[in-house]
Amino acid sequence: MTIKHITRLRCVKCYKNYTLEQQYTCLVCGLEGILDIEYDYELVRKTLNKTSLAERELNHWRYRELLPISESVVLPYLQVGWTPVYQSSKVAQIIDIKDIYIKDDGRNPTASFKDRASSVGVVKAIEQGAKIIACASTGNAASSLAGFSAAVGLKSIIFVPERAPEPKITQLLIFGATVIRVQGSYEDAWWFCQKACERWGWYNRNAAVNPYLVEGKKSAGLEIAEQMADKMPDWVVFSVGDGCTIAGAWKGILEMYKIGIISRLPRILGVQAIGASPIVKAFRSQTDLVISDAQTIADSICVGEPRNWRKAVKAIQDSNGEMIEVTDEEILEAMRLAARSAAVFGEPAGVAALAGLKRAREAGIVRAKESALVAITGNGLKDVQTARQAAGSPISLEPNMDKLEKILDEQHLL
């Protein structure tokens, strides 16, 4: 098959070229050889420009020329992308920065950023004639896959590790996914899924091996560019787990620069939790990644063996960006800050980006006269259990006005 705007697929490790017939990774490098899709930007800009965008619907399919899908395919009806960007002077004041913008990607159909990738994933599966699509995940990738599979009538099979929390499993089952709870670790579930995909020819949604998925993630960057336009901030901040989200976002921003929608590029700030920061370490040491144990409350970025670290490091370097680590306490504080001062309730991995910006400002990496956009990649309702640690407690009281008055007085509410 051919897609007219796509020139080739290229291995990020050995730079070998492939055509669109190649579904997953490089034949030489195996799982380490993730492919990157390249476009003909001269051709793209002929039809994707400010004039044409003004006429298009407000969802991420508006960037169709920059997505790896053929023209004839039917798109899922769920409204995905074009999530709101809010400017918050209150948060800017608190962290001492000129301007801050918050992009609430929890407003996607299944309440996370991952809908961008899964929406492209199901389209590719249909294009290939697949009836079943699979992934190994406990989190947002899985719930978005289950949701988008329901929308297009695909069967989804999702492999989760034994310890996956019940509320997350509920989100998969309610959309009709078949959920295999693998007696073992996340790695066990991942390999079991790989093998099953190979054996039965299911479409494999794992972004670590599938080059088309990250193109969906890219739409966050495409949107940031279009939404910010002449106000493009100095920094764009994402939390980092596996690495392909931040790589995708940067690719999207860069592409909008290439086709002339924006004239100035931001620097990328990548944020990891201190207990799960192998990419920060690889970025700083400029060496290969060292696999490590991972531990953080921010489960969506709790990754000790990230598969897309090369793409992530390269994206941040290309943007003249930086990386930073934050503690779990800082993540909980950022959850309060985002909700109380900007009215956006984000999940831990989502608000980790805000925590990172605050720390980067304190460290002088980001300066007071600069501006930043922070992407909150998932809704806080996804993980209310952790939010309870950040939220504090209610005041228990009998219905007595005098007692209420005393408490209000103590809290300076009278």
Question: Is residue 86 involved in binding a second copy (CB under 8 A)?
Answer: yes
Name the minimum Å distance from CB 325 to a second copy.
24
174 contributes a contact to a second copy by CB under 8 A: yes
Please select the residue that binds a second copy; options are 176, 290, 362, 368, rule is CB under 8 A: 176
Position 137 contacts a second copy (CB under 8 A): no
Q: Which CB sits closer to a second copy, 319 or 341?
A: 341
Neighbouring CB atoms inside 10 A of 240's CB total 36
Question: CB of 374 within 8 A of CB of 105?
Answer: no
Q: Which stretch binds a second copy (CB under 8 A): 65-73, 230-238, 369-377, 382-390?
A: 382-390
| Interstrand relation of 178-182 and 235-239 (parallel, antiparallel or unpaired) | unpaired
In the stretch 308-347, what mask flags binding to a second copy with x, by CB under 8 A?
---------------------------xx--xxxxx-x--
C-alpha 159/C-alpha 140 separation (Å) is 13
Q: If binding is defined by CB under 8 A, does position 12 make contact with a second copy?
A: no
Segment 384 to 403, residues that bind a second copy, using CB under 8 A: 384, 387-388, 390-399, 401
Q: Is 14 in the site for a second copy (CB under 8 A)?
A: no
C-beta closer to a second copy: residue 292 or 389: 389
Q: What is the 3-state secondary structure (H, E, C) of 149-210?
A: HHHHCCEEEEEEECCCCHHHHHHHHHCCCEEEEECCCHHHHHHHHHHHHHHHCCEECCCCCC
229: contact with a second copy by CB under 8 A: no
Residue of 12, 91, 151, 375 that binds a second copy (CB under 8 A): 151
Closest CA to 136 of 156, 118, 159: 159
- Four-CA torsion 374, 349, 380, 234, nearest 10 degrees: 0
Binding mask 93-122 for a second copy (x = CB under 8 A): -----------x--x-xxx-----------
Spatial neighbors of 15 by CB under 8 A, at least 6 apart, are none
